[in-house]
Structure 1
Amino acid sequence: MLTNMTKMSMEIDEAPEAAARLLDGSANAIVAAGRALREKNPAFLITIARGSSDHAATFIKYAVELTAGRPVASLGPSLASIYGANLKLDGGAAIAISQSGKSPDIVAMAEAATKAGALTIALTNTLPSPISIASSHAVNLNAGPELAVAATKSFVNSIVAGLAVLSEWTGDESLKSAVRGLPEHFEKAVKLDWSELAHELGDAESLYMLGRGPALAIASEAALKFKETSNMHAEAYSSAEVLHGPVALVERQFPVVTFAARDAAEASVVEIVDGMAAKGALAFATSDKVKEARRLPFVATGHPITDALALILPFYGFVEAWSRSKGFNPDAPVALKKVTETL
């Protein structure tokens, strides 16, 4: 029988310390990457990642578009590793994310982007590594060894690193201050109790995760963690997109978990989840504005972008405990391994 102290739970609890370690230990690299972006003044950015790292990239995409006003697109790594596409990237920048730093397709795409003229920034937990060598700049995530197969603290630190670089690039003092305050907010977030959600889910076999803007990336990561740790079917949707078809599956007691941040989308997100709750869905949301849905505890960070990031930590604690309660080992999901080396 598993104890409460799985590797995954210990790594979730370490997230506040890991974020502080990143901001301190990688400060010079963060400043250098931000300066390089300022000098390059890219017309656009691309992101290169898979799995949880791709969800981190989606979060960074929204943050860049909202803060720096540059469009960001996710490129499939197979463009380089399989198709050998000749991309014209000299006017842009690239952010490549890989915890291990050695996934062949991610490395190949980062190398191709650099050769194509992009300013390439690697966010990696392993230095030196193939991806750091393939990129113009590398930021050490400083998350420390992550032994559980399901990524937690490395996902969080990937976003913290991306936001820190963004704040240096744009000189956004509000974002800089919010990023500096994240370790303290994370300390509070990891202690939040989502056990009511576990109790109400019961024997559910499927659920939706909703979000909008940066919180959509959090919903996507949450859905993946349900699949990874508990073999449970979970799908992430934009709270607007869910109305274009998927809502048809939301019947009475169908579980819907909505990640709402204190941002411009909160009111519309709450309106949608309240509407589902009124029709009988088992609906939860991280907002004080809900009237029909049930409130999940959250930490407000005081900034609309970092607020969304803090939502993942109480969920991680919940899903780790949920996995154990269903007889799974969250440290070693079935048919998964820590480093997936795709071409």
Structure 2
Amino acid sequence: MSATKQTRTAAGDEDTLMLREAAEAPDVVERQFERNREVVARLGEDLRRTPPPFIVTCARGSSDHAATYAKYLFETALGIVTASASPSVGSVYEVPQALRGALYVVISQSGRSPDLLRNAQAAREAGARVVALVNAEDSPLARLADTVVPLHAGSERSVAATKSYLASLAAILQIGAHWKGEAPLLDALDALPGAMRRAWQADWSTLGDGLLEARNLFVLGRGLGLAAAQEAALKFKETCGLHAEAYSSAEVRHGPMALVGPGFPVLAFAQPDETGPGTRALAREFRERGAQVWVAAVEAGEEQVLPIPPPPHPACAPLLTIQSFYRALNALALRRGYNPDLPPHLNKVTETV
């Protein structure tokens, strides 16, 4: 199929590369978990035996949103401080960092971006253990890493990353589960692909109806759900020409919420954990101001709810949320006159220095 041609699927969706690739994500995750089981189990055992003093992530774009998920998963499940590296510190300023003993996690679809490669090399030279989450197993990044965790997403032709993003979250989840080595997270791995298939069937059509003529919106999340909000905001910009900004449902109170008034669109991701009640309370507050609010949640409430299926573990919820979101996003992009496979001015591989 040409990247500029869309056809109807049996379900009535406009068939694009982005839609097809996003629909593959549950199979990708299932395959990834099986193929990576041994390497991730060994990594988890090593990290339990010799835990790092801290974790550093290095990524850009959607991969950096996956790094946000890594921060919250590793800090909440393992209690180890996790920070995001600024790639320019190593690639432009060329200032060595004190990383001895650290776990340095680099996330990249292509494994070819020069700034990520320079930072990964510098981290190795500084004494860090470099783990690469990468889709291209023959990439330069894979060759220089101490441990490679392949994403197994296969070819991704749409410029907007979907299945590779979800595969990145899944790889982080598998690492965290095997590192912690306890049943709740480990058991969730087996149930996740099925839950993602159910999420793909969720009806989020009210979101597309409400955003058809929109120009701006906020996307809110918190904790483990913040990465989903960041990814959704980026995809709104890329595929729909819609100016969306992601905020923590706590941070939005520090200034940005002054913009929220009658008719202002707000999409909130209510993570099914300790952060959920606060996000839903903020959504109700915005509704009372007259804002147009949607809440993606497991349980229905008084808000206009976009359903997600019950996750096998709260840490799985962001994957289900984004799986449902991608299908709704594809429909919205086409209704707004955009081809989500070919966003203007963008390339599939961005090689930042």
Structure 1 counterpart of 2:168, from 158, 171, 175? 158
Post-superposition offset of 1:230: 1.1
Pairing 1:87-236 to 2, within 5 Å after superposition: 87-236=97-246
Structure 1 counterpart of 2:58, from 48, 65, 77? 48
Post-superposition offset of 1:233: 0.2
Determine whether 1:240 maps to 2:250: yes
Residue 81 of structure 1 aligns with an amino acid whose one-letter code is S
1:19 alignment partner, SS class: helix
2:58 and 2:87 in contact (8 A); partners too? yes
Distance in 2 separating the partners of 1:234 and 1:188: 27
Structure 2 unaligned blocks of 5 or more: 8-13
Distance in 1 separating the partners of 2:50 and 2:127: 11
Determine whether 1:2 maps to 2:9: no
1:274 and 1:291 in contact (8 A); partners too? no
For normalisation by structure 1, the TM-score amounts to: 0.97
1:270 and 1:287 in contact (8 A); partners too? no
Pairing 1:244-255 to 2, within 5 Å after superposition: 244-255=254-265
For normalisation by structure 2, the TM-score amounts to: 0.94
Determine whether 1:75 maps to 2:110: no
Distance in 1 separating the partners of 2:311 and 2:351: 36
1:129-156: CA deviations, max 9, x gaps?
1111221100111011111000100000
Post-superposition offset of 1:231: 1.4
Aligned length: 343
1:212 and 1:238 in contact (8 A); partners too? yes
2:234 and 2:244 in contact (8 A); partners too? yes
2:22 and 2:326 in contact (8 A); partners too? yes
Question: What is the identity percentage for the equivalent residue pairs of Structure 1 and Structure 2?
Answer: 42
1:210 alignment partner, SS class: strand
Residue 108 of structure 1 aligns with an amino acid whose one-letter code is R
1:243-286: CA deviations, max 9, x gaps?
11111111111110001121011111111111101110101112
Structure 1 unaligned blocks of 5 or more: none
Distance in 2 separating the partners of 1:148 and 1:274: 36
1:304-323: CA deviations, max 9, x gaps?
11122211011111111111
1:177-222: CA deviations, max 9, x gaps?
1122111111101111111111122311000000000101100000
Correspondence for 2:11? none
Post-superposition offset of 1:117: 0.9
Distance in 2 separating the partners of 1:278 and 1:298: 24
2:130 alignment partner, SS class: strand
RMSD: 1.3
Residue 314 of structure 1 aligns with an amino acid whose one-letter code is S
Determine whether 1:15 maps to 2:15: no
4+ runs deviating over 4 angstroms: 288-292
Post-superposition offset of 1:32: 2.5
Residue 53 of structure 1 aligns with an amino acid whose one-letter code is S
Residue 2 of structure 1 aligns with an amino acid whose one-letter code is Q
1:280 alignment partner, SS class: coil
Post-superposition offset of 1:299: 1.4
2:297 alignment partner, SS class: coil
2:192 and 2:312 in contact (8 A); partners too? no
